[in-house]
Amino acid sequence: MATVLGVISLSACGSDDSAAPGPTPTPATAAPTTTTTLTGDDLFVQKLRDGGIFPTANQVPLLTPLAWQNCSALASTTLPDSQKFDKMVELSMILGEGKNIFDNQVTAEAYMKASIAAYCPQYLALIPA
């Protein structure tokens, strides 16, 4: 529609037809790309790895229910949004204490980020910048 209006408005201005139209550029043909969108557990594992956590195949089924529980906890907590992520990180560290898992701030934050990204992306805004 916009192209038709543009042609109409140009033709209304008049033309001297002295300049021949130039060649029409042809679009470059891009090679087809294949992108895989990760979802669920695959995204969770990738985000864990991005955060420096490298679970074995046997550990993933143990970590995913906890990640889902994080999403439920974020939904049900009555804390202000600005405090939810930090509180969940703190709880993860308490639960991981003595188990060599999520027992430090960096690891607990990476785990929470992976949980949110994979299973409840509606809470991505809760992750501090």
Residue 56 Ramachandran class (φ > 0 left, ψ -120 to 50 alpha, else beta): beta
Query: Tokens representing 96?
Result: 């991981």
Q: Tens digits of per-residue pLDDT, 99-112?
A: 777 778 999 999 99
Query: Tokens representing 92?
Result: 């993860």
Q: Is the pTM of this model over 0.85?
A: no
Give the span between the Cα atoms of 27 and 123, in whole angstroms: 40
Please check whether residue 74 is in contact with residue 88, taking contact to mean a CB–CB distance below 8 angstroms. Answer: yes
CB atoms under 10 Å from CB of 36, counted, come to: 6
Q: Tens digits of per-residue pLDDT, 6-63?
A: 333 333 344 444 444 455 555 555 555 555 677 789 999 999 999 999 988 888 998 9
